[in-house]
């Protein structure tokens, strides 16, 4: 997809939460911003949160680091929750329903969704879902199956080699999120 990347900001995000199922836990987020060969890494964390909050926060933090508007932005995340909400525009239905979901219950993470959607009019977005935690030691056959899954979610606009680079960036975003957990927990 190299010929279509000129002028595109790529944002690779991940969120993590240690002890997500407990009342007291620590979460972290990581983000990589990439533009025309330059890269910036950001991370942070907080206590008493959830994995989904950290996934959303990673994208908010990435967008808030941008100093100019009107770019094309490609978002890569392993969070189905984040990608599906943005692709399917769930937030529009939530807003129309007074921030109630389809079960007529308050939307979780409303504060973060409200903050995130303020960025949407400023850029042209594309959203890509990737399987998280594809390790370097994963066999080629498994990686090829994961690539087919990636194509199934996102279309065939990326080569296998590009997919491997995206997987590496996702792994790095995960490492950053874990640094955020460590920092917030100390």
Tell me the whole-structure pTM to 2 decimals: 0.93
- In this structure, what is the dihedral angle of CA atoms 118, 119, 122, 125, given to the nearest 10 degrees? -130
CATH number of 177's domain: 3.30.420.10
pLDDT at 154 over 50: yes
Cα–Cα distances in angstroms (integers) from residue 18 to residues 25, 147, 184, in the given order? 6, 28, 11
pLDDT band at 7 (very low <50, low <70, confident <90, very high): confident
Average per-residue pLDDT in the chain? 93
Query: Is 110:48 a contact under the CB 8 Å cutoff?
Result: no
Q: Each residue of 58-95: pLDDT tens digit?
A: 999 999 999 988 889 999 999 999 999 999 999 999 99
pLDDT band at 21 (very low <50, low <70, confident <90, very high): confident
pLDDT at site 5: 64
Which domain range does residue 8 map to?
2-185
pLDDT at site 4: 62
Domain count for the chain, please give it. Answer: 1
Give Cα 181 to chain centroid, integer Å: 17
pLDDT at 3 over 50: no
Q: Each residue of 100-152: pLDDT tens digit?
A: 999 999 999 999 999 999 999 999 999 999 988 887 678 889 999 999 999 99
pLDDT at site 137: 77
Give the C-alpha separation, 170 to 79, whole Å: 11
Give the C-alpha separation, 53 to 16, whole Å: 9
> Which ranges constitute the DSSP H helices of the chain?
51-64, 80-88, 90-96, 110-117, 140-154, 160-185
Query: Is 51:27 a contact under the CB 8 Å cutoff?
Result: yes
> What number is the average pLDDT over the span 7-31?
91
pLDDT band at 1 (very low <50, low <70, confident <90, very high): low
């Amino acid at each position: 997809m190299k010929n279509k990347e000129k002028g595109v900001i790529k944002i690779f995000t991940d969120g993590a939460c240690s002890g997500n199922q407990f009342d007291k836990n620590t979460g972290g987020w990581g983000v990589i911003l990439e533009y025309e060969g330059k890269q910036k890494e950001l991370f942070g964390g907080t206590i008493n949160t959830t994995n989904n909050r950290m996934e959303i926060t990673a994208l908010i933090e990435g967008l808030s680091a941008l100093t100019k508007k009107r770019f094309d932005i490609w978002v890569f995340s392993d969070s189905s929750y984040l990608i599906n909400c943005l692709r399917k525009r769930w937030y529009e239905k939530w807003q129309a329903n007074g921030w109630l979901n389809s079960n007529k219950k308050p939307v979780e993470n409303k504060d973060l969704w409200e903050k995130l959607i303020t960025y949407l009019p400023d850029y042209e977005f594309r959203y890509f879902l990737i399987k998280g935690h594809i390790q370097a030691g994963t066999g080629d056959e498994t990686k090829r199956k994961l690539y087919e899954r990636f194509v199934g979610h996102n279309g065939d606009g990326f080569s296998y080699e590009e997919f491997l680079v995206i997987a590496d960036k996702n792994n790095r975003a995960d490492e950053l999120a874990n640094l955020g957990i460590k920092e917030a927990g100390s």
